[in-house]
Amino acid sequence: MYERHQKISNLLFYILIIFEILLIMLLFFKPHINISFQQDPLYTLNKDWIYTRHNGTTMQVDLPSSLEAGNDDSVSISHTLPKDELVISHLSILSTHQNLEAYIDDQLIYSRINPTSNGLFDLPTSSIWDVIELPGNSEGKTITLIISSDYNNYAGKVSEVYAGTRTGLFLQIIESSGLSLVLSLVTLLLGVVLLIVYHFIKHLLNVNKAMLHLSWFTVLCSTWMLAESDLTQLFISNEYVISGILYLSLMTFPIPMILYITGIDSFFYKNLLYKVGYIFFAIAFLLIILQIFNVMDFLQSSTIVRLEIFFLLALVLILLLMELFKRKNLELKSFTIATTILFTFESIELLTYQRRVSNNGIIFQIGFLIFIGMLIRDALRNIAGIIKLSESAKHYKFLATRDLLTNCRNRIAYTRDLDRLQLDQNITIFIADLNNLKLINDNYGHMMGDEILVLSSQCLLNTFGRRVYRIGGDEFVSLQFDLTSEMQEQLLKDFETECKKANLDSPHPISVSIGYAAYDKDNDSSIYDTINRADKDMYERKEQMKKS
């Protein structure tokens, strides 16, 4: 019945998570009225652009569009700015690995030309928002955009163009790319929290590095997603920094995931995955070398890297399915489901990337958040299990050194503490032995004898504190430190007082003989000589009690 309710609750949990994700997407994508502030009017200039071919002919096109670039890998498009629209002070366009020049009636008003290669390690360009300020009295004039790229795949690509105030354009960019940025930041936050939790608990609990690898993987993934976000590209104008972060994190983030998987104790195919990891690392290293010497830059190798990631995920999924169905390793069931979800979303992302369909990486981000959320849930469960085991271990360790009947320490604790003694200390050994316990057991039964033992041990604990050990049936020892001769005798008197108090309510009065000896380095070769002297003193006092 419990397992049934557990399955239902898990199902409801996943349904709730999926519903929340869909709700967030709906909030971002559904048209709505912004009531928090009045947004400046925004216009789209995507209709009726004039595209001038390389041979001088023209044609009318709508944006976004993929046009044929000329011999200089550039395209030229023109548009007449609307009249009597005083709020149009800027234009914005997203340039992807492209150069851009803007002219108003043949007058250059904006230019962003990426420098040509001039040495080692010239990073490729990235996507960047070009926000073009229009000069005054531009209404009705013709604006011409010349877009070029060193990469054939991007030479003829032209994105949408928006017109309005600078504030209005920024708000439009934030609104269109906000979901991608939020998902990236949530992922980064998860990675940072995991890293903090790992460094906090690794000193407290005996945990492996799985959480460290998981946090490393999450941070690298989120860094990649942040660098790909259009909104990040708005605030960081240095596209070379963006591209460097983007491609380095893209090439390296699968490595901690391989370490995470190979760190799973029950995973059978560790050696195979280790070899794949070495190959992946070698390819990443080779691509970095090719970038440094400008043989093949990161952008040109990005398709290779994405295919690597795809095939790595496919291989991991196949191995996990073999573990689950062939080897019946049910411990990996949750991880297999999470990997299946990630592989599905990555397949869709790769398909859209190959077709140059812009989705701001949201498809992969959603899949990754589901994936990492399931892994975090499993990691927290493992930590909870370790905490429970740790608490159980502490409890069993306590029981291993405790006499359950008397609540005193037992002989194991006594032997351990003797071995730890430093003989340069002032040590006094007290040895106590119950009188007539055998007679009580024989005449009144062992239950009554146990009651006498408990009562006597309580008097010892009240007098000598925690360091009281039951080392035999009715024999007790106490280790005391830094006692003067007056303090030693006073403890005996205090113990006698405790016994008298206990005997007021006991049907069978307790009688305990107790002796002591202090360690003397001149007479004792070891602590056991002191114990023998204390034992002898106890028996002498026992004899005196019998005579009195």
pLDDT digits (tens, 9 = 90+) for 306-340: 888 888 889 999 999 999 888 888 888 888 999 99
Tell me the C-alpha to C-alpha distance, in Å, between residue 381 and each of 136, 152, 210, 257, 378. 63, 50, 13, 19, 5
Cβ atoms of residues 53 and 406 within 8 Å:
no
> Is 507's pLDDT higher than 80?
no
**CA atoms of 479 and 483, how far apart (whole Å):** 11
Percent with pLDDT over 70 in the chain: 85
**Of residues 232 and 84, more confidently modeled:** 232
- What's residue 303's pLDDT? 78
d(CA 276, CA 314): 12
pLDDT at 439 > cutoff 60 = yes
pLDDT of 460-503, one tens digit each? Answer: 999 999 899 999 889 999 999 999 999 999 999 999 999 999 88
pLDDT of amino acid 1: 46
**What whole-number distance in Å separates Cα of residue 209 and Cα of residue 256?**
10
Amino acid at 537: D
Higher pLDDT, 3 or 365: 365
Query: Is pLDDT at 22 greater than 80 in this prediction?
Result: no
State how far the Cα of 289 lies from the Cα of 272, in Å rounded to an integer. Answer: 26
Residue-averaged pLDDT of the chain: 82
* CB proximity list for 22: less than 8 A, separation 6 or greater: none
Q: Is the pTM of this model over 0.75?
A: no
Segment holding 507, helix H or strand E: none
Max Cα–Cα distance, the chain, nearest Å = 132
The answer to whether residue 206 scores a pLDDT higher than 70 is: no
Give residue 385's pLDDT band: very low, low, confident or very high (50, 70, 90): confident
**Within its chain, how far is the Cα of 391 from the centroid?**
23
Q: Among 379-383, 391-395, 426-430, which range has the highest average pLDDT?
A: 426-430
> Domain-by-domain residue ranges, the chain?
42-164, 180-393, 411-547
Q: Is the pLDDT of residue 128 over 50?
A: yes
In Å, what is the CA distance from 373 to each residue of 182, 196, 197, 321?
Answer: 16, 17, 15, 20
User: Domain 42-164: which CATH class?
Assistant: mainly beta
Tell me the per-residue pLDDT of 267-299, one tens digit each, with 9 for 90 and over: 888 888 888 888 888 888 888 888 878 788 777
CB atoms within 10 A of CB 4: 8
What is the distance between the alpha carbons of residues 353 and 359, in angstroms, rounded to a whole number?
A: 9
Judge contact between 439 and 448, C-beta under 8 A. no
Lowest mean pLDDT, pick from 4-18, 63-77, 363-377, 438-452:
4-18
User: CA-CA distance, 56 to 134, in Å (whole number)?
Assistant: 26
Superfamily of domain 411-547: Reverse transcriptase/Diguanylate cyclase domain (3.30.70.270)
CA dihedral over 529, 532, 537, 540, signed as positive or negative: negative
- The upper half-sphere exposure of residue 274, i.e. CA atoms within 13 Å in the direction of its Cβ, equals 8
